[in-house]
């Protein structure tokens, strides 16, 4: 079990799963209370809030062995990737609502809600998840580079100045 939790992809999925649940709770809380006529806005706010939690968990756990860049620069990079990820996440729901008009009165409430769920939280989250993992690993936390450097360090021990026979 510990071996699987060491993999950044597994950690990314666990953080993402937790943040998905958080996004859904905030999204539906807003959608059925104060933002009843603005479902895409509710999804954007929910995704932004969960993204903040994701930053904390990602920087301290998922990519704990990152390149060690200064936190402010890392945070700015995370914000840029997150904003782009929020756009990617909201885009399918926006298209279903405002391009295809899959909303009341054109369709039933049940069809509207099922489409919102499939387009936003399912399709949007899947697209955003792949985008965010790629962008965060490549541009923000430099995970691939850090993992490669860690592998080199593990296979090539530091020169101690002594020669030992094996």
Q: Where are the domains of the chain?
A: 2-64+71-153
Spatial distance between the Cα atoms of 95 and 141, rounded to a whole number of angstroms: 32
Q: What angle do CA 159, 161, 166 make, to 5 degrees?
A: 80
pLDDT higher than 80, residue 17: yes
| Cβ pair 116, 93 in contact under 8 A | yes
Q: Which residue has the higher pLDDT, 83 or 6?
A: 83
Mark out the alpha helices in the chain (DSSP H runs): 2-5, 8-31, 39-57, 71-98, 109-117, 125-135, 143-155
Give 76-86 pLDDT, tens digit per residue: 888 888 889 88
| Cβ pair 11, 5 in contact under 8 A | yes
pLDDT value at position 118? 92
Give 112-148 pLDDT, tens digit per residue: 989 988 998 889 989 988 998 888 778 877 655 555 5
Q: How many residues does the chain have?
A: 166
pTM above 0.75, yes or no: no
Please list, in sequence order, all residues whose beta carbon lies within 8 angstroms of the beta carbon of residue 76, skipping any fewer than 6 positions away: none
| Cβ pair 131, 125 in contact under 8 A | no
């Amino acid at each position: 079990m510990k071996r699987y939790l060491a993999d950044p992809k597994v950690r990314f999925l666990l953080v993402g799963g937790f943040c998905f649940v958080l996004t859904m709770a905030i999204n539906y809380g807003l959608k059925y209370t104060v933002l009843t006529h603005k479902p895409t806005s509710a999804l954007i706010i929910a995704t932004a809030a969960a993204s903040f939690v994701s930053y904390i968990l990602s920087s301290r756990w998922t990519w704990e062995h990152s390149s060690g860049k200064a936190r402010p620069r890392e945070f700015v990079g995370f914000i840029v990737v997150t904003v782009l990820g929020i756009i990617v996440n909201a885009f399918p729901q926006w298209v279903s609502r405002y391009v295809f008009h899959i909303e009341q009165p054109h369709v039933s409430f049940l069809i509207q809600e099922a489409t919102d769920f499939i387009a936003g939280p399912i399709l949007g989250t899947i697209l955003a998840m792949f985008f965010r993992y790629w962008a965060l690993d490549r541009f923000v936390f430099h995970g691939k580079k850090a993992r490669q450097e860690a592998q080199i360090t593990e296979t090539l021990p530091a020169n101690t100045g002594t020669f030992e026979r094996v």
